[in-house]
């Protein structure tokens, strides 16, 4: 592999400190041409910051700062690596990088440092994915899970499954290949027990997918309701600032407005929608259609009702429209919360929703809130937390957090189940071993032992340059 370099911190805007990373076989030679200190660069003490001068392509002093040397294989990439810590001027960083290019390095691609760590055996694929998850984390819980996965949490959860499958397959082939040796063969009962153990462990692992995805990307949440129900006010109250325009005029929100908020420890991707009603206004009609689409794509629905509308004959049309909307939401089959707004006008009170048809999906909770005073928002947070529980803190790092991991684990479980079914149908153990080996291949793909090149490329394409 050739030597690569990239700006790892700073570069986009002025900052106090900027970092340039270098890695590869000629790393220390290139660094020695760009960084000048009391001793030659290759003689500097490993993993210790040293003060010196950064030189440009012409050998002129550009900046004073720190450098640190990481000899391979005990480095992030497994190769000889180094970091320059200089002042965070974008000009200084670009000039330092240009000097390294002149010394023989080339620009690193997205995620190339971490890709080299994976290829050199410093990280498995789940740990490499955890690096970008840690960088992209939007909540403390997501960061903790990614950090635990980077520490090998998911790999450790997979190891007992691999060991159980490897034991039965290796013993079978040892008996076949070395019949004269005194090697005890695994009988059908022992093989079946190992397969059940592996299947149960994979099922438990797949059960973490929902929590893992919620941690990683949040919950897509549609705020729906009739015009002027208080949807935008609720969005603003949860966001903590005036994200959406609020007026007393029905139809103010003409398009969906999106905002991410932390609610009950859960990251909600809130979508404030246009009021759902029949309208002849062409622009508002487009907004209503987008609202319906947002409701269909949501993982959670917050149905906001105007608590200030009285139940009287004059408001019959309103209540008929609300009954229709309630049942539309209830029939989606998605988890939803019924939120009655404007309780600062009506006073806190309990309410029920007797307008829902008997065969429809009832809300997880009915809440009375005020976006003005904040009353009831804590109960809304508790209801969201109950719908999307964080789970056992000890599970951090052992959750499946993306579709690739889920698909590989699911293929492994399907192969284990086929192997177990073959045994239960009276077939000989060798008939089950093909499926057991397929399960091992799927787990290997999850960790990166047998990952295809296109999968590896797709994963590292998500990274920023310099990581």
pLDDT of 311: 67
Dist CA 466 CA 438 (whole Å) = 36
The predicted model gives 325-353 an average pLDDT of 77
Contact of 409 with 400, CB cutoff 8 Å: yes
pLDDT of 353: 57
Dist CA 104 CA 69 (whole Å) = 18
Dihedral angle at the C-alpha atoms of 216, 222, 228, 232, nearest 10 degrees? 10
pLDDT of 249: 43
Strands 257-263 and 300-306: unpaired
Mean pLDDT of the chain: 80
pLDDT of 49: 94
pLDDT of 391: 66
Dist CA 461 CA 467 (whole Å) = 11
Dist CA 262 CA 3 (whole Å) = 42
Q: N- to C-terminal Cα distance for the chain? A: 17
Contacts of 172 (CB under 8 A, 6+ apart): 185, 186, 429, 430, 433
pLDDT in tens, 201-212: 999 889 888 888
Q: Is the model more confident about 462 or about 139?
A: 139
146: which 2 tokens?
């990614």
Helix (H, G, I), strand (E, B) or coil at 143: helix
Q: Is the model more confident about 117 or about 12?
A: 117
Helix (H, G, I), strand (E, B) or coil at 138: coil
Question: What pTM, to 2 d.p., does this model score?
Answer: 0.74
Contact of 404 with 455, CB cutoff 8 Å: yes
pLDDT of 252: 44
**C-alpha distances out from residue 215 to 102, 262, 397, 398, Å:** 43, 11, 11, 12
pLDDT in tens, 36-65: 998 998 889 999 999 999 999 988 999 999
Dist CA 65 CA 338 (whole Å) = 58
Per DSSP, what are the bridge partners of residue 301?
222, 336
Where residue 114 falls (left for φ over 0; alpha for ψ -120 to 50; beta otherwise) is alpha
pLDDT of 3: 93
pLDDT of 8: 87
pLDDT of 128: 87
443: which 2 tokens?
């787990």
pLDDT in tens, 163-172: 888 877 776 6
- The lowest-confidence range among 195-209, 431-445, 453-467 is 453-467
Dist CA 298 CA 269 (whole Å) = 9
Which domains are assigned to the chain? 4-119 (3.30.1360.120), 130-202+401-453 (1.20.120.430), 214-387 (3.40.50.300)
- The lowest-confidence range among 92-96, 265-269, 388-392 is 388-392
pLDDT in tens, 84-98: 999 988 999 999 999
- The lowest-confidence range among 37-41, 144-148, 221-225, 323-327 is 323-327
The predicted model gives 415-425 an average pLDDT of 85
Q: Is the model more confident about 321 or about 39?
A: 39
Dist CA 343 CA 228 (whole Å) = 14
pLDDT of 360: 62
Q: Is the model more confident about 269 or about 449?
A: 269
Q: Is the model more confident about 51 or about 262?
A: 51
Residue 239 reports pLDDT greater than 50: yes
The predicted model gives 430-453 an average pLDDT of 79
């Amino acid at each position: 592999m050739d030597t690569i370099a990239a700006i790892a911190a700073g570069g986009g805007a002025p900052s106090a400190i900027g970092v340039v990373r270098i890695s590869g076989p000629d790393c220390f030679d290139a660094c020695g041409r760009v960084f000048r200190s009391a001793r030659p660069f290759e003689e500097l003490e490993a993993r210790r910051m040293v003060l010196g001068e950064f030189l440009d392509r012409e050998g002129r002093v550009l900046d004073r700062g720190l450098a640190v040397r990481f000899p391979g294989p005990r480095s992030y990439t497994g190769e000889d690596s180094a970091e320059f810590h200089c002042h965070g001027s974008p000009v200084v960083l670009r000039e330092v990088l240009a000097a390294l290019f002149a010394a023989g390095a080339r620009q690193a691609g997205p995620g190339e440092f971490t890709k080299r760590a994976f290829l050199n055996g410093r990280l498995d694929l789940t740990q490499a994915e955890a690096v970008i998850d840690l960088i992209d984390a939007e909540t403390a819980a997501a960061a903790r899970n990614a950090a635990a996965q980077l520490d090998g949490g998911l790999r450790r959860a997979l190891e007992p499954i691999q060991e159980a499958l490897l034991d039965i397959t290796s013993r079978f082939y040892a008996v076949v290949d070395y019949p004269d040796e005194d090697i005890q063969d695994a009988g059908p009962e022992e093989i079946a027990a190992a397969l059940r153990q592996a299947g149960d462990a994979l099922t438990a692992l797949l059960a973490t997918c929902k929590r893992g995805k919620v941690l990683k990307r949040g919950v897509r949440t549609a705020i729906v309701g009739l015009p002027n129900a208080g949807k935008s006010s609720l969005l603003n109250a949860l966001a903590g600032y005036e994200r959406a325009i609020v007026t007393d005029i029905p139809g103010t929100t003409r398009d969906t407005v999106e905002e991410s908020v932390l609610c009950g420890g859960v990251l909600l991707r809130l979508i404030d929608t246009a009021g759902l009603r029949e309208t002849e206004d062409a622009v508002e009609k487009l907004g209503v259609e987008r609202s319906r689409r947002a409701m269909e794509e949501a993982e959670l629905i917050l149905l906001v009702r105007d608590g200030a509308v009285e139940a009287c004959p004059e408001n019959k049309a309103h209540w008929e429209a609300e009954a229709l909307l309630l049942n539309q939401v209830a029939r989606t089959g998605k988890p939803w919360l019924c939120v009655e707004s404007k309780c600062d006008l009506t006073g806190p009170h309990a309410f029920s929703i007797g307008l829902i048809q008997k065969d429809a999906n009832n809300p997880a909770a009915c809440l009375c809130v005020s976006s003005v005073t904040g009353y009831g928002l804590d109960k809304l947070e508790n209801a969201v937390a109950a719908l999307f529980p964080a789970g056992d803190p000890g599970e951090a790092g052992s959750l499946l957090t993306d579709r690739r991991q889920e698909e590989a684990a699911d293929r492994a479980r399907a192969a284990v189940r086929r192997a177990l079914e073959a045994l239960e149908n009276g077939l000989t153990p060798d008939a089950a071993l093909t499926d057991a080996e397929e399960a091992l291949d799927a787990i290997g793909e999850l960790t990166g032992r047998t990952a295809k090149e296109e999968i590896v490329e797709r994963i590292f394409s998500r990274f920023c340059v310099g990581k």
